[in-house]
Amino acid sequence: MAEKKLVEAITSMSEDFAQWYTDVVKKAELIDYSNVKGCMVIKPAGYAIWENIQRQLDERFKATGVENVYMPMFIPESLLQKEKDHVEGFAPEVAWVTHGGLNPLQERMCVRPTSETLFCDFYKGDIHSYRDLPKVYNQWCSVVRWEKETRPFLRSREFLWQEGHTAHATAKEAEERTEQMLNIYADFCEEVLAIPVIKGRKTEKEKFAGAHATYSIEALMHDGKALQSGTSHNFGDGFAKAFGIQFTDKDNQLKYVHQTSWGVSTRIIGAIIMVHGDDSGLVLPPKIAPTQIMIIPIQQKKEGVLDKAYELREKLGSFRVKVDDSDKSPGWKFSEQEMRGIPLRVEIGPKDIEAGKCVICRRDTREKVETALEQLEKTVEELLAQMQSDMLKRAKKHLEEHTYTALNREDFEKIFQEKTGFVKAMWCGEMACEEAIKENMAVTSRCMPFKQECLSDTCVYCGKPAKKMVYWGKAY
Amino acid sequence: MAEKKLVEAITSMSEDFAQWYTDVVKKAELIDYSNVKGCMVIKPAGYAIWENIQRQLDERFKATGVENVYMPMFIPESLLQKEKDHVEGFAPEVAWVTHGGLNPLQERMCVRPTSETLFCDFYKGDIHSYRDLPKVYNQWCSVVRWEKETRPFLRSREFLWQEGHTAHATAKEAEERTEQMLNIYADFCEEVLAIPVIKGRKTEKEKFAGAHATYSIEALMHDGKALQSGTSHNFGDGFAKAFGIQFTDKDNQLKYVHQTSWGVSTRIIGAIIMVHGDDSGLVLPPKIAPTQIMIIPIQQKKEGVLDKAYELREKLGSFRVKVDDSDKSPGWKFSEQEMRGIPLRVEIGPKDIEAGKCVICRRDTREKVETALEQLEKTVEELLAQMQSDMLKRAKKHLEEHTYTALNREDFEKIFQEKTGFVKAMWCGEMACEEAIKENMAVTSRCMPFKQECLSDTCVYCGKPAKKMVYWGKAY
C-alpha cells in the first residue's frame, strides 16, 4: 500500500488549487523549501526545465544580435537613487549589505532587484559615438526582492531570470526592440511551452518603475487567474538623462540614448505547471521536458527484459530518454512518471518482446498506443509532435472559454463574482477609475491588448468615454 | 595615426607583466571596472569565453552523472557556523546582509562565499536511505569574497564559478569522485584550453577550510608564477557529522554520508590570458575562442569584395566565423583581431578574388598561408587543429623549462632568487617548516604531485627526513 502514497498525497485541483500547486512542485521534486525564508532550492527536475528554457530562449535572443554579459550583483545606494521613480519602486523591497568581512561598508549596497542602474552606469562610460550603438546586452542571473508572501516559482525572495538591457540611437529603434523581444517571448510561450498569451501594454498604474511604456504577455492559469509571464520595457531617454548617457551622432550632435529592458524568470515554470498540470501531477510539453520518454520494463527480472529496455533507449537516442530500472514496482514507476510530467511512457514486458511490440502511453490524454518495435522511433516522434500541438490547442480553448466580455458595470461585477478568467472591457483611461476597480472588485488591469476591439463607447466602470479595451483579471 | 593607438597602448610583457595583463583584459574588451569596488563587469568578449567553458565543462560533468541545481545565495549566520573550520576560514571575508527592505533581519545572512553549508542543510533533509545516494549535484552561480586586493578574473570580490557538491555512501566512493573531478578539470585544461597542469594534493596548511583532503591543478603562467586553476575536496564525514546527514544503509545501520566538493571559476580565464598571450594581446586556443576566424576584406569598397567576404563566411559556417565589415582600415582591423586573440585571420581583396585565393594568418605564430578558395574550409580546419596542438606544446615546453629541482636549502633559495617557476623539492611534512619557507622565501607549497619522485632523503629546507616531494612556487 506504501506504493500508492505518492499519488494519494496530492490534493485535487478542484478541491484546493493552491494546495494542488504546492503538492505538485514538491512531489514532482521541482523544488524544496530552504532554511533561508522565502528562498527555494531548485532541485534537478526543476533546474533541468530552467536549463531548457535558457537554452532555447538564448538561441532566439542571439539570432537577433543579443550578446551576454555579467554585471556585479551589488548596487551602491547612491546608484540606485539616481532615477527617482525607479528607486521609489524598488527600495522598499531590497536586501541591504552593510558589512564586508569584519568592517562596516562606507556606503551600503543592495543586492540587485534588477540591473537598470548598473547597466546605465556602465553604458555611461562605454558609449561615446553612434558607432558604439546599438548595445544589445543580456545577462542570466539571480535577483532578490524582499517579498513578504512567497510561493515557489511565483514569488520568491530570490529568483533566476534573464534581463536584457539595450541602448539605441533613436526612439524608433528602442520601440522596435521593445516589441521584438515581447514577440520573442510570446512565440516561445506558444511554440515551446504550449502556452497561448495575450500581448499588450500595461497601464500607467501597472508599468515598471521608471519606464516610459511596459509591455507584457499575460497567460491564463487553469484556475482562471492570470500570470504575467514576461515583460518588455521602453525607457525612452529617461534613464539616459538621469545617468547622463550621451553619444555623438552622425550629425555631430550630442544626444541621449534610448533604452529598453526585458525579462523572463523562473516564474514561467509556475505557468507551465498551472496551465498543463492535472490531478496526477505535472504535464510537461515535449519541447521543454528534460526527459521526454520513460521506458518502464514490466517483470524486469525476467531474462531479456532489461536488455530490451536498454536496446530501446539506444534506439530512441535522438530523444531525451531514460529507463527506470530501479527495483520499484511498475505501478509505482507509472505514478512517478506521471507525477513528473514525462510526456511518454513506453511499457515493455516479456509478452511484448515475444510479440515484437510495446505500449506507449501519452501523459496528457492517458491514451495508450500499441506499436511494433520497428516502428517505435517513428511513432514516438509523431506522438510527441501531436502531444505538443494538442496541449497548445487545449490551452487555447481554455483561454477562449474563460475570456468574457463585459459592456456595463453590472455585468462586469457579476462575471467576476461568478466566474474566473479574463474579462475584456472598455476603460476611460483614468488611473482613479482603475484604482476604484481594484479596490472594490479586487481585480487588476492585466494589459491593453495590441489587438484592440471597440466593444462600446463608454468605460465599463465609470461610464465616461472609453479610450482603450483592457483585459482585467485576478492575478498571481 | 589614431589607428595605431590600440596597439601602442599596451605595455610589453617583459617591461611590466602585471601592467601587460591589465592592458590585455581592458583592450581585448574582456572586462571593465565597475562602480562597485572590487567587482568587474564581464563584457561580451569575456563572457563568451566563459559560456564556452561552461558548455564544455558541463557536458563533461553530465557524462559522469552530475545534475545541476540551484541553492539560495544567502547563508544564515547560524548555518555558516555549523562547521568550525569552515566558518573560521570564510567568516572574515563575507558580505553581510542585515536588512530586508526597511526592516532589520532577525538573523543576519552572508552572501555565499561557497555553498557547502547550504548543500549540507539540504542533504540533511533529502537523504534518508542508501537508495537516495549518491547525490552528485552542481550549480553554476556567482559567489562573493570580500578581498582587500583585487585583480580582474584572478581575485575579484564577486566571481562566477561552478561548485559541485556530492554525497556518497562510502569513503571510497567519495575519494573516487574527488579524483574523477580533478581529472576532468585537468583533461579540460589540456585538451580545450591548451594548458598543461600539475595534479596533486594540497598540504594541510593550504587545504580548504573544513576539508579532509584538497586536490588541485596548478598551472604555470608566462611570468613563472603559479595559478591554482581548479580544486576538488574530499570532506570525509566531517560535514556530515557537523550537520547530521545520516542514511540507513543496506545493512539497516544508520551511517554518515561522505562528501566532496569541487570548483572551477572565471579565474581560469586569467590562466588563458597569462599562458598564451603575447605583446599584441590575447591569444585564444581555437577550441575556446568565441570567434575562431575573422574575415577581413581588403579594399572593401571595391565591387564584389564584401560579397566575397560574406560568401566565405557562409562557406565557413561550421566554424565560429565573422566578417569585419566596419569602416575601419584593414591595418586597424588586423590589430583588433590580434588584440582579441582570434585564432585565424582570413584576408581577402580584389587581387585575391581574381586569383581565386586568399591569405590566412595564424594568431599564435603570425605565419601566413596562401590557400586556394576551394581549399579554404579544409585549410582552416587543419590550421585550427595545428594551432590548438602547437599552443599546448609550447605551454608544455615553457612548463618544463621553468620547472627546477632543488636538493638542498642553498639551491632552493638560489633558484627562487634568480628564477621564476616551479621548484620540485623534498619536504619533511611539518607545517612549521612550510610556514618558515613561506615567511623567509615568500614561496608557497603548490601541491604534492600525484607523480611523486624521490629526489633525496631529506627535507630541502630543514634537513629532517623527507616525506613528500612538493611543487613550490610564487602564486597568484
Q: What is the dihedral of CA A120, A122, A123, A129, to 10 degrees?
A: 160
Confidence of residue B91 (pLDDT cuts 50, 70, 90): confident
Q: What is the mean pLDDT of residues A162-183?
A: 98
Contact map slice: A 338-397 vs B, CB within 8 A: none
Q: Do A47 and B68 count as a contact with CB atoms less than 8 A apart?
A: yes
Q: Minimal CA–CA distance to A142: which of A39, A32, A28?
A: A39
**Architecture of the domain delimited by A15-276:** 2-Layer Sandwich (3.30)
pLDDT tens string A384-443: 999 999 999 999 999 999 999 999 999 999 999 999 999 999 999 999 999 999 999 999
Give the phi and the psi of residue B96 in degrees, each rounded to 5. Answer: -105, 130
- For A207, A432, A450, B412, the CA distances from A459, given in Å and listed in that order, are 21, 13, 18, 88
pLDDT tens string B350-372: 999 999 999 999 999 999 999 99
Chain A residues with CB-CB distance to B98 below 8 A:
96-99
3-state SS assignment for residue A205: coil
Q: What stretches of A113-212 adopt beta strand conformation (E)?
A: 135-144, 158-168, 198-201
Provide the pLDDT for residue A87: 87
CA separation for the pair A116, A98 (Å, rounded):
22
Task: Let me know if the fold of A15-276 is the same as that of A293-384.
Answer: no
Residue B446 has pLDDT above 50, yes or no: yes
Residue B45 has pLDDT above 60, yes or no: yes
Q: Do B137 and A44 count as a contact with CB atoms less than 8 A apart?
A: yes
Query: Which of B43, B96, B102 is closest, CB to CB, to A98?
Result: B96
Provide the pLDDT for residue A4: 47
Q: Is A154 left (phi over 0), alpha (psi -120 to 50) or beta?
A: alpha
Mutating which of A73, A117, A162 best tests the B interface, going by the most B Cβ atoms within 10 A?
A73
Closest-CA distance, B218 to chain A, in angstroms, reads 27
CA separation for the pair A178, A232 (Å, rounded):
6
CA separation for the pair A194, A185 (Å, rounded):
12
Centroid of chain to Cα B111: 22
Q: Do B72 and A160 count as a contact with CB atoms less than 8 A apart?
A: no
Q: Minimal CA–CA distance to A68: which of A164, A188, A133?
A: A164
Name residues whose C-beta falls within 8 Å of residue B118's C-beta, 6 or more positions apart in sequence. Answer: A34, A35, A41, B71, B72, B75, B79, B112
CA separation for the pair A400, B323 (Å, rounded):
48
Residue A84 has pLDDT above 80, yes or no: yes
Q: Do A79 and B35 count as a contact with CB atoms less than 8 A apart?
A: yes
Handedness of CA A464, A470, A472, A476 (dihedral sign): negative
Closest-CA distance, A457 to chain B, in angstroms, reads 44
Query: What residues does each domain of chain A span?
Result: 15-276, 293-384, 403-473
Closest-CA distance, B366 to chain A, in angstroms, reads 29
Q: Do A74 and B158 count as a contact with CB atoms less than 8 A apart?
A: yes
Query: Which of B35, B68, B158 is closest, CB to CB, to A51?
Result: B68
**Architecture of the domain delimited by B403-473:** 2-Layer Sandwich (3.30)
Contact map slice: B 394-423 vs A, CB within 8 A: none
Name residues whose C-beta falls within 8 Å of residue B266's C-beta, 6 or more positions apart in sequence. Answer: B42, B50, B153, B156, B159, B160, B161
pLDDT tens string B125-173: 999 999 999 999 999 999 999 998 999 999 999 999 999 999 999 999 9
Q: Do B95 and A99 count as a contact with CB atoms less than 8 A apart?
A: yes
Provide the pLDDT for residue A8: 60
Chain B residues with CB-CB distance to A121 below 8 A:
34-35
Query: Which of B41, B47, B98 is closest, CB to CB, to A96?
Result: B98
CB atoms within 10 A of CB B191: 15
Confidence of residue A168 (pLDDT cuts 50, 70, 90): very high
Mutating which of B35, B81, B326 best tests the A interface, going by the most A Cβ atoms within 10 A?
B35
Q: Which residues share a beta bridge with A296?
A: A347
Residue A2 has pLDDT above 60, yes or no: no
CA separation for the pair A18, A4 (Å, rounded):
22
B433 touches chain A (CB under 8 A): no
What are B222's three cell numbers?
A: 608566462
Nearest CA in chain A to B266: A70
Closest-CA distance, B45 to chain A, in angstroms, reads 8
Q: Is B281 left (phi over 0), alpha (psi -120 to 50) or beta?
A: left
Strand B74-76, strand B158-168: pairing: unpaired
Q: Minimal CA–CA distance to B34: which of A248, A92, A115?
A: A115
Q: Do B34 and A142 count as a contact with CB atoms less than 8 A apart?
A: no
- 3-state SS, one letter per residue, for chain B: CHHHHHHHCCCCCCCCHHHHHHHHHHHCCCEEECCCCCCEEECHHHHHHHHHHHHHHHHHHHHCCCEECECCCEEEHHHHCCCHHHHHHHHHHCEEEEEECCEEEEEEEEECCCCHHHHHHHHHHHCCEHHHCCEEEEEEEEEECCCCCCECCCECCEEEEEEEEEEECCHHHHHHHHHHHHHHHHHHHHHCCCCCCEEEECCCCCCCCCCCEEEEEEEECCCCCEEEEEEEEEEECHHHHHHCCEEECCCCCEEECEEEEEEEECHHHHHHHHHHCECCECCCCCCCCCCCEEEEECCCCCCCHHHHHHHHHHHCCCCCEEECCCCCCHHHHHHHHHHCCCCEEEEECHHHHHHCEEEEEECCCCCEEEEEHHHHHHHHHHHHHHHHHHHHHHHHHHHHHCEEECCCHHHHHHHHHHCCCEEEEEECCCHHHHHHHHHHHCCEEEEEECCCCCCCCECCCCCCECCEEEEEECEC
pLDDT tens string A262-272: 999 999 999 99
A106 touches chain B (CB under 8 A): no
Confidence of residue B89 (pLDDT cuts 50, 70, 90): confident
Handedness of CA B145, B147, B153, B158 (dihedral sign): positive
pLDDT tens string B252-307: 999 999 999 999 999 999 999 999 999 999 999 999 999 999 999 999 999 999 99
Nearest CA in chain B to A113: B101
CATH topology of domain B293-383: Rossmann fold (3.40.50)
B215 contacts B471 by C-beta, under 8 angstroms: no
Q: Is B260 left (phi over 0), alpha (psi -120 to 50) or beta?
A: beta
ipTM more than 0.85? yes
Mutating which of A97, A118, A327 best tests the B interface, going by the most B Cβ atoms within 10 A?
A97
Q: Do B100 and A98 count as a contact with CB atoms less than 8 A apart?
A: no
pLDDT tens string A292-341: 999 999 999 999 999 999 999 999 999 999 999 998 999 999 999 999 99
Residue B88 has pLDDT above 70, yes or no: yes
B341 contacts B277 by C-beta, under 8 angstroms: yes
3-state SS assignment for residue A461: coil
Residue B69 has pLDDT above 60, yes or no: yes
Chain B residues with CB-CB distance to A32 below 8 A:
122, 125-126
Q: What is the dihedral of CA B452, B458, B462, B465, to 10 degrees?
A: 90
Provide the pLDDT for residue A1: 38
B169 touches chain A (CB under 8 A): no
Query: Which of A35, A42, A98 is closest, CB to CB, to B70?
Result: A42
Provide the pLDDT for residue B8: 60
B384 contacts B391 by C-beta, under 8 angstroms: no
Q: Minimal CA–CA distance to B57: which of B150, B185, B232?
A: B185
Residue B2 has pLDDT above 90, yes or no: no
Q: What percent of chain B has pLDDT over 70?
A: 98
CATH topology of domain B13-276: BirA Bifunctional Protein; domain 2 (3.30.930)
Residue B3 has pLDDT above 70, yes or no: no
Residue B430 C-beta-side C-alpha neighbours within 13 Å: 14
CA separation for the pair B323, A311 (Å, rounded):
46
CA separation for the pair B95, B89 (Å, rounded):
14
User: What is the CATH number that goes with domain A293-384?
Assistant: 3.40.50.800
What are A99's three cell numbers?
A: 558589512
B174 contacts B181 by C-beta, under 8 angstroms: no
Q: What percent of chain A has pLDDT over 70?
A: 98
CA separation for the pair A140, A57 (Å, rounded):
11
B34 touches chain A (CB under 8 A): yes
Query: Which of A72, A101, A141 is closest, CB to CB, to B93?
Result: A101
pLDDT tens string A100-126: 988 999 999 999 999 999 999 999 999
- Residues found in chain A: 476
CB atoms within 10 A of CB A191: 15
